[in-house]
């Protein structure tokens, strides 16, 4: 759908997604959830997928680890992790990929960790499975990992069950598990949303530190602009299964061009302007089974022109590496 930006197509890309489409079965038909996404993440960089619920950001993440086919979804397009296409992999190859080359951090560690095994055993199991280490080596490695994610009294915590740890410690343990095989790519699905404010910032800073230190590429899904501003190198904004704007964190968060991103940033309650009406986005996201013709955001857009109801905007660069899918912006830039 888009011409990939020349620099992002370099061989350094750890993750390269092109024209990814995902549809789920809904009644007798198919519901398009992700509609033609292109993106790439290079080594050592953090891409934040920003969007509201139902925009397709978590589904995109799950496509990277091949979790969708099992759920009966229809997936097309390419998802390349270090050059290997995940969509073409056998079940066995996908199992090798998960945990070893790609680490995953979920929003709710309580449901992602097994409640009947000790945390240390769960981490060691991953290392034994993917690294062929002995149980003893794996346990020692688990201890190192707990030090890496700054869990105090690591020995005791490794012997604990998930329910015995606080939310912040559980999420740190989850990060330790995701990093256990030193993956090239780390996927994080709202990892700090369930945490308290004073704990959220600790976990964000920890992730940022580990990721920069080890040079891991990371895709980070969130709906929170503040969290995005803290961690992102690049930001891609999703709406109704599409990326509508993509660029560096500063381009997207401070100088956004797409009307949806602009509305989203103006909705954020900043506290200072008390009692002034907040910027509002009227209506709600479209029903994916009955998408309007043309631009999906047009019915809610305050800058709509007639053309928006007819033309589905393709993304185009308004600045180097700053991509926007909007008819108006494209006309502006004289493209």
User: With binding defined as CB under 8 A, does residue 153 bind another protein?
Assistant: no
Task: Considering the complex, state which of residue 36 and residue 109 has its C-beta at the smaller distance from another protein.
Answer: 109
Judged by beta carbon, residue 32 or residue 168, the one nearer another protein is 168
* Distance of alpha carbon 284 from alpha carbon 304, whole angstroms: 16
Binding pattern for the stretch 45-84 against another protein, x by CB under 8 A and - elsewhere: -------xx-------------------------------
Q: Does residue 26 belong to the site contacting another protein (CB under 8 A)?
A: no
Q: Indicate the SS3 state at residue 77.
A: strand
Name the E strands within 29-132. 29-42, 46-50, 74-81, 84-85, 102-105
Number of residues that bind another protein (CB under 8 A): 46
212 binds another protein (CB under 8 A): no
Tell me 279's DSSP state.
P
Give the integer Cα–Cα distance in Å for 156 and 305: 62
Question: Nearest Cα to 54, choosing from 293, 298, 241, 312?
Answer: 241
d(CA 94, CA 241): 24
The answer to whether residue 115 forms part of the interface with another protein (CB under 8 A) is no
Judged by CB, which is closer to another protein: 214, or 229?
229
**Six-digit token pair at 250?**
């500063």
Which 171-200 residues touch another protein, going by CB under 8 A?
196-200
Residue 335 lies near another protein (rule: CB under 8 A): no
Question: What's the distance, Cα to Cα, between the start and end of the chain in Å?
Answer: 16
Stretch in the footprint of another protein (CB under 8 A) among 17-25, 119-127, 132-140, 264-272: 264-272
Q: Are 207 and 231 in contact (CB under 8 A)?
A: yes
The distance of closest approach from Cβ of residue 213 to another protein in the complex, given in angstroms and rounded to an integer, is 16
Tell me the two tokens of residue 257.
Answer: 């061009």
Per-residue DSSP letter, 180? T
Q: Does 253 bind another protein (CB under 8 A)?
A: yes
Q: Which residues bind another protein (CB under 8 A)?
A: 52-53, 152, 166-169, 196-202, 204-205, 223-227, 229-230, 232, 249-250, 253-254, 263-264, 267-275, 277-282, 284
């Amino acid at each position: 759908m888009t011409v990939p930006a020349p620099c992002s197509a370099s061989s350094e890309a750890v993750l390269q997604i092109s024209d990814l489409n995902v549809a789920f079965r809904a009644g007798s038909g198919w519901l398009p959830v992700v509609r033609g996404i292109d993106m790439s993440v290079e080594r050592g960089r953090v891409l934040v997928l920003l969007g509201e619920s139902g925009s397709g950001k978590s589904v995109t993440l799950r496509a990277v680890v091949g979790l969708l086919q099992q759920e009966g979804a229809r997936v097309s397009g390419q998802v390349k992790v270090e050059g290997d296409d995940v969509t073409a992999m056998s079940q066995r190859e996908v199992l090798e990929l998960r945990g070893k080359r790609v680490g995953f951090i979920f929003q709710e560690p309580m449901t992602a960790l097994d409640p009947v095994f000790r945390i240390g055993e769960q981490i060691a199991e991953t290392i034994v499975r993917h690294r062929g280490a002995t149980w003893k080596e794996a346990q020692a490695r688990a201890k190192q990992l707990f030090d890496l994610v700054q869990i105090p009294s690591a020995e005791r915590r490794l012997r604990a069950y998930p329910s015995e740890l606080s939310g912040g410690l559980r999420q740190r343990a989850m990060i330790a598990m995701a990093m256990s095989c030193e993956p090239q790519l780390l996927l994080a699905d709202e990892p700090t949303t369930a945490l308290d404010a004073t704990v959220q910032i600790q976990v964000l800073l920890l992730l940022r530190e580990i990721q920069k230190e080890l040079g891991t590429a990371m895709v980070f899904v969130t709906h929170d602009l503040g969290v995005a501003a803290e961690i992102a190198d690049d930001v891609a904004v999703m709406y109704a299964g599409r990326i509508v704007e993509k660029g560096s964190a500063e381009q997207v968060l401070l100088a956004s061009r797409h009307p949806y991103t602009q509305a989203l940033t103006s909705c954020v309650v900043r506290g200072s302007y008390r009692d002034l009406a907040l910027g509002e986005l009227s209506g709600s996201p479209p029903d994916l089974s009955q998408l309007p013709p043309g631009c999906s955001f047009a019915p809610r857009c305050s800058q709509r022109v007639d053309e928006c109801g007819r033309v589905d905007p393709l993304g185009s660069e308004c600045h180097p590496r700053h991509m926007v899918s909007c008819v108006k912006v494209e006309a502006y830039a004289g493209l």
